[in-house]
Structure 1
C-alpha cells in the first residue's frame, strides 16, 4: 500500500518548490511540468506520471520535451536536457 501511494505522487526538485506547475497529457500519459523564471531565463522540470515499460522510454523522452514546450510556450534549447524518462530538466 505504501508503494502504491508513493508512485501516485510526484514532487519537483527543491529548485522548483513554489514554481508554477501544470499537467500536460501527451498520448494518454500525464506529465507534471514545473516552470521557474529567473529574469529572462526559464527553467523547466518535467516529471512523468505512471509506470512505463522499457520499450516506451524513447518515446517518453520526446514527449517530455513537447510537454516542456507546451507548458512554457518556449522552444527547448538544444543540448539543455538533463535527466531520464522519469524526471527531465530543460
Structure 2
C-alpha cells in the first residue's frame, strides 16, 4: 500500500517534480508496468480501490500447509547446534 501511495504521489502533477514512469520505477525499485497498473487502476476504479490490497485465497491462514507446530520445529532445527 505504501508503494502505491508513493507512486501516486510521484505521478501527481500537484506534487512537483512530476516524474516519468521510468524515473518513478527506478526511484522505488519496481517495474514500469507496475507504475502503469497503479495509475490505470486509479483512473478506472478510484483511490480506494487502488490502495486496497486483494488477498489471495491461498494467503488465508485456514489454507496454510504449515501450522504453528511445524513452524516451531523448523525454528528449533534451524536455531539448534550445527551438525558435525
TM-score, normalized by the shorter chain, greater than 0.5:
no
When Rg is computed on C-alpha atoms for both structures, the one with the higher figure is 2
TM-score normalised by L of structure 1? 0.23
Query: Where is the helix percentage greater, Structure 1 or Structure 2?
Result: 2
TM-score by length of 2: 0.25
More relative contact order, 1 or 2 (CA 8 Å, 6+ apart): 1
